[in-house]
Amino acid sequence: MTIGLIVFLFALGGVAVAGVGIYNSLVRLRNASENAWSDVDVQLKRRYELVPNLVATVKGYAAHEQKTFEEVTLARSRAMGAGALRDRASAEGELSRACPTCSRSPRRIPSCAPTRASSRSSVISRSSRTSSRRPAATTMPWCAI
C-alpha cells in the first residue's frame, strides 16, 4: 500500500466518524425538541382540564351577582315608592345596606372564594409552567412555532 492510499483511508475514516457524530447530535437535538414540545402539550392539556372549574366559578359569581342585583333593585323600588317619612327612612336604610354588596370584592363571596383562589392559582401555575417549557422547545433551529 502506498502512503497516499493510507492517508486517503484515514481521511475517509475521519469523515465517516465526523458524519456519524453530526448525525447523532442531530438526532439528540430532534429528540430534545420533541420532548420539549411534549412537555408544552402536557401543560396545555392540564390547563384545558381547569376550564370546567373556571366555568363553575363564573356560574357562582353570576348567581351571586343576580341575587345582589335583585336585592338592590327591590330596595331601590321600595325607597322610591315609600310615602311616609318612617317608611322612607326604613327603605333608604335597606337601600344603603344593599348597595355596598354591589362593590364587594369577589373574595368576599363565600361560595366562590375557595374555588376562585384555587382556580386562579392553578391557571397561573399552568401558564407559567407552559411558558417555562416553551423556550426549550423553540430553541431548536428547525422548530416551527
Predicted confidence at residue 51, as pLDDT, reads 84
- Mapping DSSP onto H, E and C, the string for the chain reads CCHHHHHHHHHHHHHHHHHHHHHHHHHHHHHHHHHHHHHHHHHHHHHHHCHHHHHHHHHHHHHHHHHHHHHHHHHHHHHHHCCCHHHHHHHHHHHHHHHHHHHCCHHHCCCCHHHHHHHHHHHHHHHHHHHHHHHHHHCCCCCCC
Range of the domain at 23: 1-49
Same domain, residue pair 113 and 73 = yes
5 in a structural domain: yes
Q: Quick check: pTM over 0.85?
A: no
131 in a structural domain: no
Predicted confidence at residue 63, as pLDDT, reads 81
9 in a structural domain: yes
Predicted confidence at residue 144, as pLDDT, reads 46
The model's confidence at residue 131, banded by pLDDT at 50, 70 and 90, is low
108 in a structural domain: yes
Count of domains in the chain?
2
Rounded Cα gap, residues 132 and 127, in angstroms: 8
Same domain, residue pair 80 and 99 = yes
Predicted confidence at residue 52, as pLDDT, reads 86
106 in a structural domain: yes
Predicted confidence at residue 110, as pLDDT, reads 53
140 in a structural domain: no
Same domain, residue pair 59 and 117 = yes
Which has more confidence, 94 or 119? 94
132 in a structural domain: no
Same domain, residue pair 82 and 34 = no
Q: Over the stretch 22-68, which tens digit does the pLDDT of each residue have? A: 999 999 999 999 999 999 889 888 888 888 888 888 888 888 788 88
Same domain, residue pair 37 and 60 = no
